[in-house]
Structure 1
Amino acid sequence: MLIHGFKKWPKNQKIALPILTIFAFGSLFNQLQGRQSEPTSIFVDNPRIIDGDTLEAADEKRVRLLGIDAPDDDGNGNVTKIAAQLYLEELVKRNGGMDCTSEFQDQPLTVEPICNKSRSSWGRLNMSCRFRSNGASVSATMVRHGYAVDYRRHSGLAYARFMKEAADEKRGLWSVNYEAMRNLAIERGQLPNSCS
């Protein structure tokens, strides 16, 4: 039975419909991907601090502070990880909620192109955050006070100057375990071959 105005598909074109369907779904997928890559902004009030560079909003969204890395747990009760976490908790208590965006707010501080601009990692949103009370960059504050290091591939060296000052003056964790912070800074200062 034929619908008025349509002819029967020739035998050699029976594959055309599945191919058109695949293209249609591909187009829809690309549109959705485009929406996910658009900048995202959220207000984080009273977050739960996971560690020195990760927090969890009330809706259980995890936010990774963009451009920095704080010490991670080494499985041996890592003092530097705990100290970075406690310092970020103290900052939040003092300064309150944060406005976070997937756009890199500290772009004017960069000295080289940012290699990795991914908006998420390990189920976390990669975001720049500023305290609403004073507009201070959370990432810059953590590095400036010696509780995190510049993460070059995500920062374009935006915080390298603050990190050097903190190391020279042995602020924060640089006075607790200089060698551990130095090693983390060296590791996070490397760029993968894909960035070169």
Structure 2
Amino acid sequence: MIKATALTLTLVLSPALAAAADITGRASVIDGDTIEINGVRIRFEGIDAPESRQICENAAGKAYRCGQASAKALEAFLAKSRPTTCTATGTSYDRIVGYCERADGADVNAWMVRNGYAIDWPKYSGGRYAPEQEEAQAARAGIWAGAFDPPCVMRGARCD
């Protein structure tokens, strides 16, 4: 507990140190693009997942809670290989931003996009996940099977 508290204090007091830290532990899913490890919230860099309250349409045009589906898929994916390690690259609001991997080395950010549970957000990724998004679109995986609004639109934010 002392280690987690010290890490939390270090991250809160020094964003520069946060950007250099690796955070490892059992991840709790907050939503499709945010997890918490040892009391530290981490937002996946370069991707954007449907909001928790977001409704999408499946291939048959039926409404479903795509934000909830995204979070559940992330939870199941992370549960297959623990712990999760995130490399912090910066901060955004009250969270660390970074790239995460499961214990087996699987890239969590890329998996979410490749399986249609999140989209590449070029504004922050520089197109890093564009190949995974093309793969998801071609396979009509996840949200690409039907219709959806970009998550940033749901938040009332600018998407560019």
Same structural fold, with TM-score higher than 0.5 when normalized by the shorter chain: yes
SS for the counterpart of 2:80 is helix
CA distance in 2: counterparts of 1:123 and 1:43, whole angstroms: 16
Q: What is aligned with 1:87?
A: 73
How high is the sequence identity, in percent, across the aligned residues? 29
Structure 2: which amino acid aligns with 1:94? K
Q: What is aligned with 1:72?
A: 51
Q: State the Cα deviation string for residues 6-49 of structure 1 (Å, max 9, x = none).
A: xxxxxxxxxxxxxxxxxxxxxxxxxxxxx632532233322110
Q: What is aligned with 2:97?
A: 126
Q: Which runs of 4+ in 1 moved over 4 A?
A: 75-78, 185-190
CA distance in 2: counterparts of 1:81 and 1:179, whole angstroms: 13
CA RMSD, 1 decimal: 2.6
Give the structure, 1 or 2, with the largest relative contact order (CA under 8 Å, sep 6 or more): 2
Question: Which segments of 5 or more consecutive residues in structure 2 lack a partner in the other structure?
Answer: 1-13, 56-62
Structure 2: which amino acid aligns with 1:72? E
In the alignment, which of 24, 39, 44 is matched to residue 24 of structure 2? 44
Q: What is aligned with 2:138?
A: 168
CA distance in 1: counterparts of 2:31 and 2:158, whole angstroms: 20
**Contact conserved, 2:120 with 2:133, CA < 8 A, in 1?**
yes
In the alignment, which of 73, 88, 99 is matched to residue 85 of structure 2? 99
**Contact conserved, 2:53 with 2:65, CA < 8 A, in 1?**
no
Question: How many residues of Structure 1 are paired with residues of Structure 2 in the alignment?
Answer: 136
Q: How does 1:1-196 map to 2 (within 5 A)?
A: 36-38=15-17, 39-58=19-38, 60-74=39-53, 79-103=65-89, 119-133=90-104, 135-175=105-145, 178-180=146-148, 183-184=149-150, 190-191=159-160
SS for the counterpart of 1:126 is strand
SS for the counterpart of 1:81 is helix
The structural deviation recorded for 1:63 is 0.5
Question: Which segments of 5 or more consecutive residues in structure 1 lack a partner in the other structure?
Answer: 1-34, 104-118, 192-196
Structure 1: which amino acid aligns with 2:132? F
TM-score norm. by structure 1 comes to: 0.61
SS for the counterpart of 2:150 is helix
SS for the counterpart of 2:30 is strand
Greater fraction of residues in helix? 1
TM-score norm. by structure 2 comes to: 0.74
